[in-house]
Structure 1
Amino acid sequence: MYINTISHYYPSQVVGNEHFTKLNNLSSEWISERTGIFERRKAGEDENTATMAMAAVDLLLADMPYDKGEIDLIVGATYTPYDTIVTLGHAIQHHIQVPNIPVLSLSTACSSFLNALEVVEGYFAMGKATKALVIVSDHNTAYYNEMDTVSGHLWGDGASALLISKERLSDQDMHIQKIITGGAATSGKAVEAVVLRPNDRGVVMPFGRDVFQNACLFMPKVSKQVLEDCGLTIDDLDYLIPHQANHRISLNVINTLGIPLEKLISNIQYLGNTGSAGCAIALSENKDKFQKGQNIVITVFGGGYSYGAMLITV
């Protein structure tokens, strides 16, 4: 599979750590030392998961290498839906007005991005599609409790969109070499560590340490595995984009793998935890710095516990 083009969108409203200092007495230093976050983006009153995705898609279509009518699959990914019936994927289909094609949406917490790409991979393998539009968007601040001193200060909002083709269409395409995903719901406190129950109290993280420990276990392991499965080693890796949950987790992952800091790509410092959209946004933000032949690993870990890694060669 090949990434033909990629875009991202995040809201204009910036919420600094001082907001939470005033709100619940958490100092900016305390937040940044424990999470790496200094500020995050928050969707406006007229924005939601679908509208942010639409904005990312509009940016994508402006740089589209083929007619939108050639899109024959749409996959939406989010765990913070604006509408649970008119799903993210169908909202995007309506927005771009491409009829009579397969459209679906999925959620595997913060791993949703890679699982969405796996769905595309399956459609391609079965001959049911050749060009897919993938949208990943999370509106965390619609669900969070900002008064929660454990996790209320973590969250940000954002979206990304990608055009994926089965065959290479140009020399500018990024090659998705391999995707590995898995479920680790039998590990630790997987089904209770991070939960979002809309009928209850929104996003809460009662067992953050367990999340930290398992993320630091599974992300390095699967990152190494995806490289080895493609005949590569850590020395062949040019950049690592880990799930943007906590900068300390990212540092732990690169230390475990023996990767220098300059190979780590991170946006949590100024975006907060943008959920399943975080890695896709980071890939889009940095696309112009990547050079031909470089290898990039994206690795994710989400509530539940879901995990995965993807190897991209530019």
Structure 2
Amino acid sequence: MSFAKIIGSGSYLPENCVTNDQLAARLAEKGIETSDEWIMTRTGISQRHLASDNEKTSDLAVIAARRAIEDAGIDAADIDLIIVATSTPDFIFPSTACIVQSRLGIKGGAAFDVQAVCSGFVYALATADSFIKANNAKCALVIGAETFSRILDWNDRGTCVLFGDGAGAMLLQASEEPGILATQLNADGSLNTILNTPGRIENGLVTGDPFLRMDGQAVFKQAVTVLEKSAHQVCEKAGVSLDAIDWMVPHQANIRIINYLGRKLGLPAEKIVATVAEHANTSAASVPLAFDAARKDGRIKSGDCVLMQGVGGGFTWGSALVRM
């Protein structure tokens, strides 16, 4: 049986970087009070990158994909599967993955989107792993890309300070050596109201509430509970102990969640990749963005055991355990 091995990664952040002080000044013009201290204390976020008016999710995805292809040293024509995890696609359809495929000059392989919000990249990674293990693909491009700034209510201090835009990509290739050791996915649809964007299209018009809404306390409670359990489950599935994990790359939602989860799993801070301060919460892009940052700066190396986790609206969550 073939294994899915990560052979390259890439990422992209929009040029427009907005610090907490800059955001606080913008919100003050609307009569909304916040500050760098208020945001940092509650979230650990110091800045976020926001897409320009003419930047689409596919634009971010394509740049991250090209960087991953260059990093892997392969020809784009070798890619026979593209999966884009996003909750902010360019269009209702076609999929953002099909747009990315076209812009990369690729034809013939499968291309589709996965929508599991902030768990999307882990869901997409698990899907690509299954394709490769079943010999239905040889080389998969997996992307997490979001322009969440488009669905934020900039009058809601509790949510608009939390999110940013960006994209991260990984290339997986069939290998005889173990790569993705195990994946574990879950959802609980009964919790669909604690994090959602309830607007919808009817007769060509957006009806209902088009903005992201979140019950922060409920999300925090669920996130730390389900991610701790998922980590144990994926390690058991792979036959790997938590002590053997070299790096944890969690969803970058809130530094409090990241730190609490690390303590619950007995993982020291020096084994946890945290980019939430620089990127904010980029939803499905957060895991591949953090992974690429840690790989490019030399922290994640060949042979390392890496735990990746996502949790988001739906309510969805999942883990992937990877040998580099």
Query: Which bin holds the TM-score, normalised by the shorter protein?
Result: over 0.9
Q: Deviations over 1:187-207 (max 9, x none)?
A: xxx211111134333333341
Contact kept? 1:75, 1:105, Cα under 8 Å: yes
Contact kept? 1:244, 1:279, Cα under 8 Å: yes
Structure 1 residue aligned with 2:33 = 25
Matched, 1:12 2:15: yes
Structure 1 residue aligned with 2:306 = 296
Contact kept? 2:129, 2:180, Cα under 8 Å: no
Q: Deviations over 1:20-46 (max 9, x none)?
A: 422121121111111110111111122
Paired with 2:66 and 2:76, the residues of 1 have a C-alpha distance of: 11
Structure 2 residue aligned with 1:261 = 269
Q: Deviations over 1:54-82 (max 9, x none)?
A: 11122223334332222111111101112
Paired with 1:203 and 1:228, the residues of 2 have a C-alpha distance of: 39
Paired with 2:91 and 2:179, the residues of 1 have a C-alpha distance of: 33
Structure 1 residue aligned with 2:194 = 193
For the residue of structure 1 that corresponds to 2:159, the secondary structure is coil
RMSD: 1.6
For the residue of structure 1 that corresponds to 2:160, the secondary structure is coil
Offset, 1:227:
1.5
Which runs of 5 or more structure 2 residues have no equivalent in the other structure? 200-205
For residues 113-192 of structure 1, the aligned pairs below 5 Å read 113-168=121-176, 175-186=179-190, 190-192=191-193
Paired with 1:303 and 1:59, the residues of 2 have a C-alpha distance of: 29
Paired with 1:259 and 1:99, the residues of 2 have a C-alpha distance of: 43
Q: How many residues align?
A: 307
Offset, 1:168:
5.0
Paired with 1:177 and 1:185, the residues of 2 have a C-alpha distance of: 27
Query: Which of the numbers 210, 214, 218 marks the counterpart of 2:226?
Result: 218
Letter of the structure 2 residue corresponding to residue 290 of structure 1: I
**Which structure's residues are more often helix, by fraction?**
2
Letter of the structure 1 residue corresponding to residue 78 of structure 2: E
Query: Normalising to structure 2: TM-score of the pair?
Result: 0.90
Q: Deviations over 1:128-154 (max 9, x none)?
A: 211111121010101111221111110
Offset, 1:234:
1.9
Contact kept? 2:126, 2:320, Cα under 8 Å: no
Describe the shift of the 1:35–1:12 C-alpha distance in structure 2 as closer, same or farther (beyond 3 A).
Answer: same
Paired with 1:74 and 1:125, the residues of 2 have a C-alpha distance of: 16
Paired with 1:286 and 1:50, the residues of 2 have a C-alpha distance of: 24
Paired with 1:260 and 1:276, the residues of 2 have a C-alpha distance of: 25
Tell me which moved more, 86-95 or 228-237: 228-237
For the residue of structure 1 that corresponds to 2:211, the secondary structure is strand
Structure 1 residue aligned with 2:202 = none
Matched, 1:234 2:235: no
For the residue of structure 2 that corresponds to 1:63, the secondary structure is helix
Offset, 1:290:
1.9
Which runs of 5 or more structure 1 residues have no equivalent in the other structure? none
Structure 2 residue aligned with 1:39 = 47
Identity %: 27
For the residue of structure 1 that corresponds to 2:183, the secondary structure is strand
Contact kept? 1:239, 1:296, Cα under 8 Å: yes
Paired with 1:71 and 1:293, the residues of 2 have a C-alpha distance of: 24
Query: Normalising to structure 1: TM-score of the pair?
Result: 0.93
For the residue of structure 2 that corresponds to 1:301, the secondary structure is strand
Paired with 1:146 and 1:33, the residues of 2 have a C-alpha distance of: 20
